[in-house]
Amino acid sequence: MTNKSALVIGCNGMVGTALMRVLAHSKTYFTIRGVDIETDMTIKSNTEIIKDYDHIYHVAGKKGSPQTARERPADYLPMLQFDANIIEAVGKYKPEWFLYTSSVGVYPPSELFKEDDVWDKVPSENDMIPAYIKRMGELGCHAISKSYDYNNISIVRPANIFGRGDNYDEGSMVIPSLIRKSYYEDVISVWGDGSEVRDFIYSKDVARGMVHMVTNKINDTVNLGSGIGYSISELANIISKYSDKEVKYDVSKSGGDRKRVMDMTKALSYGFELKYGIEQALIETIEDYRNVQSD
């Protein structure tokens, strides 16, 4: 055990809760504190808490589906000020290390997402507003590096995250949406023909990746994903197997971009590998959802 302290901003979200558990089982920290997104970092005085901790994990964010991004993009706007205030405070107080959580959404349309292929192209129309907000967060990190000579920053870009505590409401992301349908509806309805390929990562692996980058002091921007990609039909079939519900495809509705997969070369070069396979992670997530619904 060391005398290091860690602050998790966004501790009650899906990733935040997984991260708090990983940190609690690590031997790195003597003190761990979490603050939820309700600790309004759009108020600058609230960011003073950063000065009291060695490692800052900023995992707070607004999670939503492509439908939310298209129809209610203003929902994401508060994160501009939220991120900016946190990043500016990090530059001012200079903690030992800072981790900023970006998103797969920052990438322009492509079949394979490599970390350097962002800044010369625009994001997908399905992610435009939240993508630019996350890009601004990344640029904010680069800004404090130059302005405050502070370079102890890890930026992670997770793929599509799922896991315990996910948002299962209407307009949720693909995996929680499919799980909810398997519980409440007669069939598991899939938009499109199910051939669209996405990269998914379990929240526990995201948390592990974050801690790995911070404890190994990786001053870089790194993808966190499977590097493989799974079709929506593969996911639906796994969920179908554990719910005994039929899968039906609605080809009248668009499934979005055809393929989006993370390049994991850089993460592997830094010694990070996934621990959880897709089926194991889905089973744990399904069981957690059922337990919550039965309470």
Average pLDDT, the chain: 92
Question: What pLDDT shows up at residue 52?
Answer: 96
219's tokens: 């001053």
State the pLDDT confidence band at 47, using cuts at 50, 70 and 90. Answer: very high
Question: What pLDDT shows up at residue 3?
Answer: 85
Question: What pLDDT shows up at residue 170?
Answer: 65
Q: DSSP string covering 224-281, please?
A: ES-SS-EEHHHHHHHHHHHHT-EEEEETTS---SSEEEE--HHHHHTT----S-HHHH
Question: What pLDDT shows up at residue 76?
Answer: 86
* pLDDT (tens digit per residue) in 102-150: 999 999 999 999 999 999 999 988 788 999 999 999 999 999 999 999 9
Of 17-26, 184-193, 235-244, 247-256, which range is least confident? Answer: 247-256
State the pLDDT confidence band at 246, using cuts at 50, 70 and 90. Answer: very high
| Domains of the chain from N-terminus onward | 4-294 (3.40.50.720)
Q: Is the dihedral of CA 292, 14, 223, 175 positive or negative?
A: positive
* pLDDT (tens digit per residue) in 180-223: 999 999 999 998 899 999 999 999 999 999 999 999 999 999 99
